[in-house]
A and B are shown apart, each in its own frame.
Chain A
Amino acid sequence: MRITCPYCGARSSHEFAYLGDAAPTRPDPADPEAPDAFNAYVYERDNVAGVMDELWYHSGGCRRWLTVTRDTRTHAITAVRFTTMRFTGTEAAE
């Protein structure tokens, strides 16, 4: 599996560290529902069988966080972009 880093080009997945599903976002700790929201954020996953956005870190290259769109059934990668600011419910991409 090769990941085309927007900065470094196509590289072996060996150069990258994997965090997982990009969907969970850190809840607001001041929210009254925060304990449930944090439980879901830290532990519960959709565990998608299909196309999924996920976070990879190019530790052996440019050391940028990437959002990779990949099919978990085939390993086919369809999009890679830099991950930037991540707040609750939003993600800004460069």
Chain B
Amino acid sequence: MSRYSVFSLIANALNGQKGWTPAWRDAVPKPSYDVIIVGGGGHGLATAYYLAKEHGIRNVAVLEKGHIGSGNAGRNTTIIRSNYLLPGNEPFYEWSMKLWEGLEQDLNYNAMVSQRGIINLYHSDGQRDAYARRGNAMRLAGADSELLDREQVKALCPFLDFDNSRFPIKGGLMQARAGTARHDAVVWGYARAADRLGVDIVQNCEVTGFIREGDAVVGVETNRGPIRAGKVGLAVAGSTSRLTKHLGLRLPIESHVLQAFVSEGLKPLVPGVITFGMGHFYVSQSDKGGLVFGGDIDGYNSYAQRGNLPVVEDVAEGGMALMPLIGRLRMLRSWGGLVDMSMDGSPIIDVGPLPGLFLNTAWNYGGFKATPASGWCFAWTIAKEEAHRFNAAFRLDRFRTGHVIDEKGVGAQPNLH
């Protein structure tokens, strides 16, 4: 497989585009691997890539029950940002942001990373103070932040309802380095780059159980036969509990449904990502022109990958309160994803809890932005059998020991995070 470059583009333009080869092999599973990653989403593929690239572990398979990127990696709203508050979270997400910034050169793939900025709007003095604190916390972790006043926001987004009588806009916290990326291209880019380093990407291969030796996990049972492995890493988001049930494990996560929406295409309107501060609504504009927006999770346990109308109504109301012009747009599509909500709203990347097993889960509704750092830290954790300092706080036992990372401060109630 050749490297993508302007020369390969020209050469293929001249020969009628006949020189392109598949971006990754459709691998047939071998009887055993050093490492098996279950889940061919962004996180799983990134993990395999960094295992091969950073740690020289190339005898790796990524097993995916459908086709790669068909779960949440293909259903999210493509936002990348590192505007977290807590010390357990922010260094990790800032590392992810730095990996996004060099991703396309690293992967030799156009992931359409676009640092168009995010603005979290505030509507009161108290909320401004909270955002000032968050902005300072971001800067302490090496991220960028800027507190904008009303006039500065107005210059960037004149279409917002600044004088809304209930929720007047007073300003916003901006992270200029945040933005969006093309979610499918991230999956394809990692798949191609991992494949070039020798990783087997096995699609239509559903894990149905585990091979055990005593307590240890030494492989997986699949619909394409048993496959043994030195180490098994799970990166299956909302399906984690369904897999760990085979191991007798109960985890601090619930699977919920999160909906997202896209409007008809418009001329360029929304400059970056905007979040409403008085309800859960956020919006950006895709390069095709559609407004991409969403809000709260539906709030009840669900594996259905589709939601209900009350949240559609709630999101529409948030949109109308923020930018009334959205009322004139037609909604093209809406869809639902299966999100792994944790008891404190923060993720888990950890060794164990069984020998040979490694967990990557609990991404809540914010896993896309974490893709590079999640793969990077999970690869480190699998290779060295200990956490990197960036994911040191993402322990499975933090709930038992009281070291929860609760950004929102709402306690052990997954549907409130």
Contact = CB atoms under 8 A, between A and B. Distances in A.
Contacts of B78: none
Given A14-B310, A49-B255, A44 B250 contact: yes
Contacts of B308: 1, 13, 75
Interface stretch (A25-33, A35-43, A84-92): A35-43
Nearest to B242: A49
Q: Which bracket fits the contact residues of B? A: 20 to 34
B343 to A, nearest CB: 5
B305 to A, nearest CB: 9
A52 interface: yes
Interface stretch (B56-64, B119-127, B296-304): B296-304
Given A14-B310, A45-B252, A47-B251, A54 B301 contact: yes
B415 A20 contact: yes
B75 to A, nearest CB: 17
A43 B252 contact: yes
B304 A48 contact: no
B350 interface: no
Nearest to A68: B300
B250 A12 contact: no
B65 to A, nearest CB: 14
Interface string B390-413: 000000000110000000000011
Chain A at the B interface: mostly helix, strand, loop or mixed?
mixed
Interface string B302-343: 111000111001000000000000000000000000000001
A42 B412 contact: yes
B250 A45 contact: yes
B90 interface: no
Nearest to B342: A43
Interface residues of A, number: 25
B254 interface: yes
A7 interface: no
B253 interface: yes
A42 B414 CA distance: 11
B285 interface: no
Contact of B250 (A13, A40, A49): A40
Contacts of A45: 241, 250-254
A13 B299 CA distance: 10
Contacts of B242: 47, 49
Contacts of A49: 241-242, 255, 303
A47 B412 contact: no
A16 B414 CA distance: 16
Nearest to B412: A42
A52 B414 CA distance: 17
Contacts of A44: 250-252
Interface in B251-292: 251-255
Contacts of A75: 302, 304, 308
Given A13-B308, A13-B310, A72 B255 contact: yes
Contacts of A43: 252, 343, 399-400, 412
Nearest to A73: B303
A20 B343 CA distance: 12
A53 to B, nearest CB: 11
Contacts of B250: 40, 44-47
A29 B389 CA distance: 36
Contacts of A39: 399-400
A28 to B, nearest CB: 19
Interface of A: 1, 12-14, 18-21, 39-40, 42-49, 52, 54, 70, 72-75
Interface of B: 241-242, 245, 250-255, 299-304, 308-310, 313, 343, 399-400, 412-415
16 contacts: A12-B310, A13-B308, A14-B313, A18-B300, A20-B414, A20-B415, A43-B252, A43-B400, A44-B250, A44-B252, A45-B250, A45-B254, A72-B255, A75-B302, A75-B304, A75-B308
Closest 5 A/B residue pairs (Cβ): A47-B241, A14-B310, A44-B250, A43-B399, A43-B252
